[in-house]
Amino acid sequence: MNNNDILRRLRYTFDLKELSIVDIFASADGVATQEQVVSWLKKDDDAGFVDMIDLEMATFLNGFINTKRGKREGPQPEPEKRLTNNTIFMKLRIALNLQAEEILDIMQLAEFNLSKHELSSFFRKPDNRHYCECKDQILRNFLMGLQKQFRA
């Protein structure tokens, strides 16, 4: 999945307007204009489409965490220059304050079965021997489950 797809899905799931996305960027000390947001949300084959780079997506996700859970005291975390599906999954989990059981329930809404052990392997450090790479299919199903839960 690319960052634009993820942003489009999150926008639909949480009914975010362009200006709210600009505000989310601002809550992470990032800057995005409404024009940038509109170009990120366009379909891949539309004129004016612009790829959202990892740094911009990481800034958005950090802002999403701040918006959903409140801003942390002190300096804000630096957005990652390189994002993986595991990092995106982890940031969404933090933003929505989800426990393992809740994530498994969300995956069930998307009719995708996952064990608790498989789930925990996505949130481990990459050098841990039980770490597992989160594939696009798993992130896509998680986003689909979120959509079914929040946009019934």
Per-residue pLDDT of the chain (152 residues; tens, 9 = 90+): 899 999 999 999 999 999 999 999 999 999 999 999 999 999 999 999 999 999 999 999 999 999 999 988 888 889 999 999 999 999 999 999 999 999 999 999 999 999 999 999 999 999 999 999 999 999 999 999 999 999 87
HSE toward the beta carbon, residue 76, CA cutoff 13 A: 21
Give the model's pLDDT for residue 74.
83
Quote the pTM value.
0.94
Give the model's pLDDT for residue 72.
85
The answer to whether 59 and 98 have CB atoms below 8 angstroms apart is no
Give the 3-state secondary structure of residue 130: coil
Give the model's pLDDT for residue 1.
86
CA 43 from chain centre, in angstroms, equals 18
The two three-digit tokens of residue 74, written as one number: 């002190």
Alpha-carbon distances of 65 from 11, 44, 62, 87, 101, rounded to whole Å: 14, 27, 5, 13, 20
Give the model's pLDDT for residue 133.
96
| Euclidean distance between CA atoms 94 and 112, whole angstroms | 21
Give the model's pLDDT for residue 75.
84
